């Protein structure tokens, strides 16, 4: 392929993503979700500037325990006198990091397995997909619980557990996309000029299978954050005193009747984050759907 052809192909891909962005901007709910996510990312990025981790987030101050929301403590304090707003901000860093890294691992591993299964077919396809079916037969949260229980509770093991439980989902999505494009003319042309199977898979097939993976990845981050909160809630995720929304819910549930803010605000943080990711995912699905093109 000549340099001129490469330039044309790159310009075409750029114009396609510009068109996707134009479609996405028309969806007000998707833009709202994107704005919320940007705010959350900025809060997580500058969490240390917003509140000092050691003195405000971790250090106990029993004299201020269970204080209601006020000018001093915007969202009140928890059972150990720690500022809930500061802990939610630092908890955003933990939840977003776990969600993004876990989903990235799932997409890479699942994408490669799905591409290989769909491209080669035959026995290799059957072996890979039957292994994925075995994983899918077990509820993802139960599989994550089993893996964390075996490896021990820690942030690394939590990311490993969530990523392993999500791999089959992306493998099936990529395989379906590969089956629909592996016999198209541009793949045949790549074979005709002597391109290797590895180059065809990574240079042509996987990039053209990204649209459904991007949408599912956005929704997958929401599921990963929810799984993180659920595992932390039962004591298998991020361990105290590190701030994590699920463990904050677990620690404050016994004070729910007379200190509602201890559990309400971490729960609202989880809800807003999941909602924003779902709104963005729905918007990306509509923007990337070729059937919506005029």
- Please write the tens of the pLDDT for every residue from 184-196: 887 888 788 888 8
**Averaged pLDDT, 142-164:** 88
Residue 11: pLDDT above 60? no
Residue 12: pLDDT above 60? no
pLDDT for position 106: 93
Residue 6: Cβ within 10 Å count: 10
pLDDT band at 36 (very low <50, low <70, confident <90, very high): very high
Task: Read off the tokens for 197.
Answer: 């199977």
Q: List the one residue out of 99, 102, 82, 101 whose CA is nearest residue 40.
A: 99
- Which pTM value belongs to this model? 0.83
pLDDT for position 253: 86
pLDDT for position 187: 80
CATH number, residue 9: 1.10.3720.10
Contact (CB, 8 A) for 136 and 166: no
Of 19-23, 167-171, 179-183, 256-260, give the range with the top mean pLDDT: 167-171
Find the domain containing 228 and state its range: 3-292
How many domains does the chain divide into? 1
pLDDT for position 63: 85
- Please write the tens of the pLDDT for every residue from 111-134: 899 988 988 888 999 999 999 999
Q: Considering only residues 19 and 248, tell me which one the structure prediction assigns the higher pLDDT.
A: 248
């Amino acid at each position: 392929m000549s340099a001129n052809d490469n330039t044309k192909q790159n310009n075409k891909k750029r114009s396609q993503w510009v068109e996707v962005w134009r479609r996405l901007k028309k969806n007000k709910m998707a833009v709202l979700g994107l704005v919320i996510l940007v705010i959350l990312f900025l809060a997580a990025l500058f969490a240390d500037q917003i509140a000092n981790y050691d003195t405000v987030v971790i250090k106990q101050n029993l004299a201020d325990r269970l204080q209601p929301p006020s000018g001093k403590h915007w969202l009140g304090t928890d059972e150990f006198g720690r500022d809930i707003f500061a802990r939610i901000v630092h908890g955003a860093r933990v939840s977003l990091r776990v969600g993004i890294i876990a989903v990235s691992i799932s997409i890479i591993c699942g994408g490669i397995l799905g591409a290989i299964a769909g491209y080669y077919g035959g026995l290799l396809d059957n072996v890979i997909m039957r292994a994925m079916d075995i994983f899918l037969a077990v509820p993802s949260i139960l599989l994550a619980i089993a893996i964390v229980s075996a490896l021990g509770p820690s942030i690394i093991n939590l990311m490993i557990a969530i990523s392993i439980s999500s791999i089959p989902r992306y493998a099936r999505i990529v395989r379906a996309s590969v089956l629909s494009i592996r016999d198209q003319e541009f793949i045949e042309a790549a074979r005709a000029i002597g391109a290797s199977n590895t180059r065809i898979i990574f240079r042509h097939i996987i990039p053209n299978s990204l649209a459904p993976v991007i949408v599912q990845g956005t929704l997958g981050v929401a599921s990963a954050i929810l799984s993180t909160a659920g595992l932390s809630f039962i004591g298998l995720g991020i361990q105290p005193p590190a701030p994590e929304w699920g463990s904050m819910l677990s620690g404050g549930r016994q004070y729910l009747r007379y200190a509602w803010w201890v559990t309400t605000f971490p729960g609202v943080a989880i809800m807003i984050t999941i909602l924003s990711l779902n709104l963005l995912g729905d918007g990306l699905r509509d923007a990337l759907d070729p059937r919506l093109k005029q």
